[in-house]
Structure 1
Amino acid sequence: MPDRALSTPLDDSFERYLQDKGKGRGGGGGNYRRNAARELERFAEWAAGDRGADDWTGIADDVGREPTFDDLDERVFREYARHLGGDRGLKQNTVQTYYRYISAWCGWCVNEGYLEAHYAQRASAMAPLPEDDGRKPGDQQAWTSEQRHALTRHVDERARDAVEAYTTLPEDTDPLDKQRARYAALKAARDRALVFVLAYTAVRVGELLRDPNDPRRRGVRWEDLSVDDGSMDVYRKKQQWDAASLPDPVISPLRSYRQLMDPPTERWPVFPTFDQRTLAGLVRENLAERGERPEAIIERRAEYARDLLLALDVDIRPPSITTDGARSILQRLSEAAEIDIDHPKHDYLAPHGGRRGMGEVLVRAFGYTVAARYLDNSEEMVRERYSHIEAGELGDVATEALEEIDSVPQ
């Protein structure tokens, strides 16, 4: 390893690391970048002796010298793990999460040549961390009420503005400009409907959208929805069709979206892809199959601002967005809504988090039996996944019992 890498101050690597992990132009955005930057700053302060016990002087041999990569080894990360798990009032999972940010940076430093080994992942370094409780962090995200309201409010305002911009255009607006406004309104309305369905129905994203690896999961179509009855037919995880509920918050976004889209048939997907490359190929192929010559197809497409609008007019049915497509949409929307997310795996509101968040609401409001029916799960499984709620309720019962006993005169 070059000597210059060993003598490099720790924080000289931070910006490059954060750029690699960030989103958007230059890697300057994203919740993960923000959270990682916060933890790296804390680690740097601790390494310099600015955090910790009163007698803590940092990891450098010479007091006051800026720590460099030459000062890092597994003992340093062991001490930091002990520092995180010290008397700071941090929960077990929070300690694990904070350490993962530093460990991820350490692994990146190995790949970039700053370090010769991934010291943070060595057993001796991780020994002081709280024991893993067996839960998988990627499966534990649940949208909080604040996050759900922030996201639904953002997509609702965005859709309202786009629809109003389209419906209030002057009559003499250029046809292509009017099409562009309609397309923007359709996309915003689709995103709003998708977010509301994920947030309030607790339907699994794989039951709602297309799975390229399973032809049975082609995504819900308008024929599968009965908005007036408040129900939707989905192909369940248990390999059969079943009705899912559409609660009141979902009805208005779906109705508004359908009216704007005006699908040519009921077999159209509720959430079609808006990917231009996919739609362009689909339109060209279908028009050619209908006997149109290449020159005519070019002229036909030139009349439309987007191929989706042409597909609507001539009933060329596009595929539904995929489950991966939904994750990309939620990443974009979570970042645009500037939602605060602190999670070890997801820096956005992931689809399964909407389902888990709704499960929290149902268990707290109506108990495990009703929640199990709504979630299409066994009551046993729901009790297991939401056991923390029951534990809290039992704690309240115990507190109430103690207060009652203590209030009885002896």
Structure 2
Amino acid sequence: MPDRALSTPLEDSFERYLQDKGKGRGGDGGNYRRNAARELERFAEWTAGDRGNDDWTGIVPDDVDREPNFDDLDERVFREYARHLGGDRGLKQNTVQTYYRYISAWCGWCVNEGYLEAHYAQRASAMAPLPEDDGRKPGDQQAWTSEQRHALTRHVDERARDAVEAYTTLSQDTDPLDKQRARYAALKAARDRALVFVLAYTAVRVGELLRDPNDPRRRGVRWEDLSLDDGSMDVYRKKQQWDAASLPDPVISPLRSYRQLMDPPTERWPVFPTFDQRTLAGLVREELAERGERPEAITERREEYARDLLLALDGDIRPPSITTDGARSILQRLSKEGEVDIVHPKHDYLAPHGGRRGMGEVLVRAFGYTVAARYLDNSEEMVRERYSHIEAGELGDVATEALDEVDHLGK
């Protein structure tokens, strides 16, 4: 191996690796890239002696003054890092495994690119200190129960009905700004209701439904992606391609009434736009300025509206979709307002993925693994693995019935 490769600082390889693993144009997007970048930064800090206990000085010899480079790496380094991850940081077993896999994947890439002569991170001695993987994905175990689903959907439905009625029954002599405030409140409640119903009944991944700032291809569903008459919605799937998802009957009415209330100026408007005032204010000012309006005129026009969202609707200034993090914030608020009973070790609210997992439970129990896999856009093997507790319970019932039958015959 060329000495030049061995003397290359570790961090000089990071950007190329992240570009190769990233998504979108230039490899700048994607959750994997973001998570890998975070773990590589932690690994770089550890190799330089900036992480670990007080006695840890890094992987560079004490009598050498330079950055860690590839010549410093061997299986003992990765063994020590595995021991560091599994130390007293309080990380779960599977979390340690996940963090190590990011570094291991980078190590394998470095072998292919000529930085290293061997995949040290995958050697048995390097991986020996890692804890056993318990097979669970951290934080991915919540599933909305039927009671929770009904409680949340009932709350958002009542809230939206009240807000829409308050707006539509205003007297004709109501002050224009007060009428706008009532419309805004109705729009927000209707948007929240539609979002909850979609998450509760379609089993679509929240990353397929809303905007992901780390992946430019995931800009959130638009009205042009929905066919309410056909009961379908085009989404950009996890498998990196567009596909049709089903919109079951409970979802159609909330979406239809919400669309009627919003009356989007074009089909390219997001179904679930952000209502964040700071974002909308900046967007409106920027768009109107680009259209040639002077600052004073922009200020005057904004003062005519109770909220910038209403100006955006009238002026066809398309806002961005809410983000996946935004959806979590909305569900936190709604779960608390609806006083939904939640007992979960990690989430004190109904998290988005719990809606999908809850529908998976319903589908597996009602129609079996094959139908559930098609609806969930997963392989049957994966669905069987994730919902294995259902089959185990059913087999337990079979065993109980068999024992009862044997005991009956023995009498």
Tell me the TM-score normalised to structure 2 length.
0.68
Which segment is superposed worse, 42-51 or 290-299?
A: 42-51
8 Å CA contact retained: 2:211, 2:323? yes
2:318 aligned residue: 317
**In structure 1, what is the Cα distance between the partners aligned to 2:33 and 2:338?**
16
**In structure 2, what is the Cα distance between the partners aligned to 1:72 and 1:363?**
48
Indicate how the Cα distance of structure 1 residues 324 and 107 shifts in structure 2: closer, same or farther if over 3 A, else same. Answer: farther
Indicate how the Cα distance of structure 1 residues 150 and 223 shifts in structure 2: closer, same or farther if over 3 A, else same. Answer: same
- CA deviations over 1:93-150 (Å, ceiling 9, x no partner): 9999999999999999999999999999999999999999442340101111111110
Q: State the Cα distance separating 1:399 from its structure 2 match.
A: 1.3
**In structure 1, what is the Cα distance between the partners aligned to 2:172 and 2:359?**
44
Indicate how the Cα distance of structure 1 residues 37 and 161 shifts in structure 2: closer, same or farther if over 3 A, else same. Answer: farther
1:86 aligned residue: 87
Question: SS in structure 1 opposite 2:348?
Answer: coil
Question: SS in structure 2 opposite 1:218?
Answer: coil
**In structure 2, what is the Cα distance between the partners aligned to 1:216 and 1:66?**
37
Indicate how the Cα distance of structure 1 residues 374 and 249 shifts in structure 2: closer, same or farther if over 3 A, else same. Answer: same
Q: State the Cα distance separating 1:22 from its structure 2 match.
A: 36
8 Å CA contact retained: 1:209, 1:323? yes
- CA deviations over 1:352-387 (Å, ceiling 9, x no partner): 000000000000000000000000000000000000
8 Å CA contact retained: 1:209, 1:271? yes
Indicate how the Cα distance of structure 1 residues 184 and 14 shifts in structure 2: closer, same or farther if over 3 A, else same. Answer: farther
Indicate how the Cα distance of structure 1 residues 323 and 49 shifts in structure 2: closer, same or farther if over 3 A, else same. Answer: closer
Indicate how the Cα distance of structure 1 residues 114 and 296 shifts in structure 2: closer, same or farther if over 3 A, else same. Answer: same
Q: State the Cα distance separating 1:346 from its structure 2 match.
A: 1.1
Q: State the Cα distance separating 1:331 from its structure 2 match.
A: 0.6
Q: Which runs of 4+ in 1 moved over 6 A?
A: 1-132
**In structure 2, what is the Cα distance between the partners aligned to 1:161 and 1:105?**
54
Which segment is superposed worse, 210-219 or 18-27?
A: 18-27
2:43 aligned residue: 43
**In structure 1, what is the Cα distance between the partners aligned to 2:28 and 2:87?**
33
Question: SS in structure 2 opposite 1:242?
Answer: strand
8 Å CA contact retained: 1:19, 1:28? yes
8 Å CA contact retained: 1:151, 1:334? yes
- CA deviations over 1:229-253 (Å, ceiling 9, x no partner): 0000000000000000000100000
8 Å CA contact retained: 2:222, 2:267? yes
Which segment is superposed worse, 319-328 or 39-48?
A: 39-48
Q: State the Cα distance separating 1:42 from its structure 2 match.
A: 38
8 Å CA contact retained: 2:156, 2:189? yes
Indicate how the Cα distance of structure 1 residues 283 and 10 shifts in structure 2: closer, same or farther if over 3 A, else same. Answer: closer
Question: SS in structure 2 opposite 1:215?
Answer: coil
Indicate how the Cα distance of structure 1 residues 32 and 222 shifts in structure 2: closer, same or farther if over 3 A, else same. Answer: closer
Q: State the Cα distance separating 1:406 from its structure 2 match.
A: 2.4
**In structure 2, what is the Cα distance between the partners aligned to 1:368 and 1:237?**
20
Q: State the Cα distance separating 1:201 from its structure 2 match.
A: 0.2
- CA deviations over 1:162-206 (Å, ceiling 9, x no partner): 000000000100000000000000000000000000000000000
- CA deviations over 1:39-93 (Å, ceiling 9, x no partner): 9999999999999999999999999999999999999999999999999999999
- CA deviations over 1:283-315 (Å, ceiling 9, x no partner): 011111111111111111110000000000010
Show structure 2 runs of 5+ residues with no match: none
**In structure 1, what is the Cα distance between the partners aligned to 2:313 and 2:147?**
37
8 Å CA contact retained: 1:263, 1:312? yes
Indicate how the Cα distance of structure 1 residues 41 and 224 shifts in structure 2: closer, same or farther if over 3 A, else same. Answer: closer
Indicate how the Cα distance of structure 1 residues 165 and 9 shifts in structure 2: closer, same or farther if over 3 A, else same. Answer: farther
Indicate how the Cα distance of structure 1 residues 220 and 119 shifts in structure 2: closer, same or farther if over 3 A, else same. Answer: closer
Which segment is superposed worse, 111-120 or 187-196?
A: 111-120
8 Å CA contact retained: 1:31, 1:340? no
- CA deviations over 1:1-28 (Å, ceiling 9, x no partner): 9999999999999999999999999999
Indicate how the Cα distance of structure 1 residues 388 and 67 shifts in structure 2: closer, same or farther if over 3 A, else same. Answer: farther
2:232 aligned residue: 231
**In structure 2, what is the Cα distance between the partners aligned to 1:329 and 1:30?**
23
Indicate how the Cα distance of structure 1 residues 163 and 97 shifts in structure 2: closer, same or farther if over 3 A, else same. Answer: farther
8 Å CA contact retained: 1:77, 1:119? yes
8 Å CA contact retained: 1:36, 1:101? yes
Indicate how the Cα distance of structure 1 residues 229 and 71 shifts in structure 2: closer, same or farther if over 3 A, else same. Answer: closer
Question: SS in structure 1 opposite 2:98?
Answer: helix
Which segment is superposed worse, 96-105 or 64-73?
A: 64-73
**In structure 2, what is the Cα distance between the partners aligned to 1:38 and 1:294?**
41
Q: State the Cα distance separating 1:408 from its structure 2 match.
A: 2.3
Indicate how the Cα distance of structure 1 residues 222 and 79 shifts in structure 2: closer, same or farther if over 3 A, else same. Answer: closer
Q: What is the number of equivalent residue pairs in this alignment?
A: 410
Indicate how the Cα distance of structure 1 residues 241 and 15 shifts in structure 2: closer, same or farther if over 3 A, else same. Answer: closer
Indicate how the Cα distance of structure 1 residues 71 and 260 shifts in structure 2: closer, same or farther if over 3 A, else same. Answer: same
8 Å CA contact retained: 2:30, 2:215? no
Question: SS in structure 1 opposite 2:55?
Answer: coil
**In structure 1, what is the Cα distance between the partners aligned to 2:33 and 2:273?**
31
8 Å CA contact retained: 1:372, 1:379? yes
**In structure 2, what is the Cα distance between the partners aligned to 1:37 and 1:291?**
41
Q: State the Cα distance separating 1:34 from its structure 2 match.
A: 33
Question: SS in structure 2 opposite 1:270?
Answer: coil
Indicate how the Cα distance of structure 1 residues 121 and 307 shifts in structure 2: closer, same or farther if over 3 A, else same. Answer: farther
Matched, 1:105 2:106: yes
**In structure 1, what is the Cα distance between the partners aligned to 2:192 and 2:281?**
21
Indicate how the Cα distance of structure 1 residues 10 and 179 shifts in structure 2: closer, same or farther if over 3 A, else same. Answer: farther
Give the aligned CA root-mean-square deviation in angstroms.
10.9
8 Å CA contact retained: 2:31, 2:215? no
Indicate how the Cα distance of structure 1 residues 348 and 42 shifts in structure 2: closer, same or farther if over 3 A, else same. Answer: farther
Which segment is superposed worse, 347-356 or 29-38?
A: 29-38
**In structure 2, what is the Cα distance between the partners aligned to 1:302 and 1:397?**
69
**In structure 2, what is the Cα distance between the partners aligned to 1:135 and 1:393?**
21
Q: State the Cα distance separating 1:404 from its structure 2 match.
A: 2.1
Which segment is superposed worse, 43-52 or 144-153?
A: 43-52
Indicate how the Cα distance of structure 1 residues 45 and 232 shifts in structure 2: closer, same or farther if over 3 A, else same. Answer: closer
